[in-house]
Amino acid sequence: MGTSDRYTVSRALYRRAQDLIPGGIHLSGRPLLDQNSSPLYFERGRGSRIWDADGNEYIDFVMAYGPYLLGYAHPEVDRAAAEQGARGSLLSLNHPLHLSFIETLLRHFPAAEMGIFFKTGSEATTAAVRIARRATGRRAIARCGYHGWHDWCLPAEDFVPEGLTTQIFVYDAMRPETLSALLDERRGQFAAVILAPEMIHPPSRETMVAVIEAAHRHGALFIMDEVKTGLRAPRGSMQAFYGVEPDMTTLSKALGNGWPVAAVIGPRAVMAHAAGMHLSATYHGDTSAMAAALATLEIVERNGVQETVWALGQQLIQGLNEAARRNQIPAEAYGEPIPPMPFLRFTHPDPARNEQLKSLVYAKVIAEGILLHPRHMWFISAAHDAAEIGRAVEVVDAAMCTVAARNPDLLERDGFRPKSESLNRALKTGL
């Protein structure tokens, strides 16, 4: 079966969506490759596996962009949410579970003493910068990384309010001097420096500390945006990994293992400024997602989840790098910034050839039932196992081997010509 026949139902749904949803998709549903080479619609997930609308099964490493630290449809988490739902998810005013949720969360983040709950990462980061403004009486924010879809954290384009460009500034965490220059230029204006820790890769404590110290030297609060890394990193967070204490932390994604929940936490002296602020929405108090989060936190405490995803991520990175070397493919696997968030980058110096190589390899890998994202870091869950990682490596290896054998011209670079080794291997294995 050609790969385009694999995705017939996906393509039909996509056509139907053109009349119903502007652009046919929400942005997190953008195609991995073109619609003939990758699936667009999925119907079911369990553990590390996901099934597309055509019935094809995948070992999934996209994992819905990060929430499923424990895997899809985790029985214990989903049971907790369903039981809570049966009592009425969202009740008038307050619920005791709001307190248990924050209390339990704080146990995982020793620098924090109070917290507020939300539904999405964007809400949490937006609330954190607003709290920082109130706490400092200042307006400007320095940001680095993706913090969500709200106006303040988008690139300044036509459709965000003009005034934002005088208050929101981007720095490069890998070059903390860019932050110092920014803060120096507008002394006394910055309320907060926010950083998504995946922007420092490979991880460097020295760089992280330089960012935090620059913020504090200028009287700005330091917000660590752990929406992706929270619960997934060793000891539960990148702040624990580095041994640093942010003034506020934003969390979502893995926290609810698929149920929408988010939080901002921090020391009392900072969080107290949130009292009475308008940081509220109708669904914030939903307790089903909080019950899911409590179950997730308990499983994470009990099961050594972080060690598992770290080891599996390392296995994948090592296997992919060996496969790239063996097949003379210009590509490099690495953790972004840590092994449970791995990625494979193609590194051909000619961008056009690089793009072609990448598309060919990914299309083959996806057609063999391994769902890898060509443009976004991947996520390992505790539901993956060593055999599945081995299978993923085997499939990527075979895809690289075939692509290398059939497209030697694509591999040529800076005087390098591929040896016939890949072709020989491909002929031997009949690929």
Ligand X SMILES: Cc1ncc(COP(=O)(O)O)c(C=O)c1O
Under the rule (CB under 6 A), what is the footprint of ligand X?
A: 65, 120-122, 125, 145-148, 196, 225, 227-228, 252
Nearest distance from residue 292's CB to ligand X, in Å?
Answer: 15
Q: Report, in Å, the least distance between residue 158 CB and ligand X.
A: 22
Q: Which is nearer to ligand X, 168 or 196 (CB)?
A: 196
Sequence length of the chain is 431
What DSSP string runs through 104-137?
HHHHH-TT--EEEEESSHHHHHHHHHHHHHHHHS
- Burial grade of 20 (CB within 10 A; 0-12, 13-18, 19 or more): exposed
Question: Smallest gap, in angstroms, from Cβ of residue 4 to ligand X?
Answer: 30
In the complex, what is the shortest distance from the CB of residue 347 to ligand X, in angstroms, rounded to a whole number? Answer: 24
CB count within 10 Å of CB 87 equals 12
Q: To the nearest whole angstrom, how small is the minimum distance from the Cβ of residue 92 to ligand X?
A: 26
- Comparison of 120 and 422: residue with beta carbon closer to ligand X: 120
HEC-encoded secondary structure of 135-193: HHCCCEEEEECCCCCCHHHCCCCCCCCHHHHHCEEECCCCCHHHHHHHHHHCCCCEEEE
**Nearer Cβ to ligand X (26/217):** 26
Query: How far is residue 401's CA from residue 329's CA, in Å, rounded to a whole number?
Result: 9
Least distance from C-beta 145 to ligand X, angstroms?
Answer: 6
What is the number of the residue whose Cβ is closest to ligand X? Answer: 121
Backbone CA torsion sign across 316, 322, 325, 326: negative
Nearer to ligand X, 255 or 395 (CB): 255
What letters, b where the CB count within 10 A reaches 16 and e where it falls short, cover 420-429? eebbebbeee
9 versus 160: smaller Cβ distance to ligand X? 160
* Type and span of the H or E element at 370: strand 370-371
Q: Which is nearer to ligand X, 147 or 364 (CB)?
A: 147
Shortest gap between Cβ of 379 and ligand X (angstroms)?
Answer: 11
Assign 431 to helix, strand or coil: coil
In the complex with ligand X, the residue whose CB is nearer, 257 or 354, is: 257
Report DSSP state, residue 301.
Answer: H
Check: CB of residue 329 under 8 Å from CB of residue 364: no
Q: What are the structure tokens assigned to 428, written together?
A: 């031997």
In terms of CB distance, is 227 or 294 closer to ligand X?
A: 227
Among 256, 297, 287, 282, CA closest to 85: 287
Compute the least distance from the CB of residue 329 to ligand X, in Å.
Answer: 29
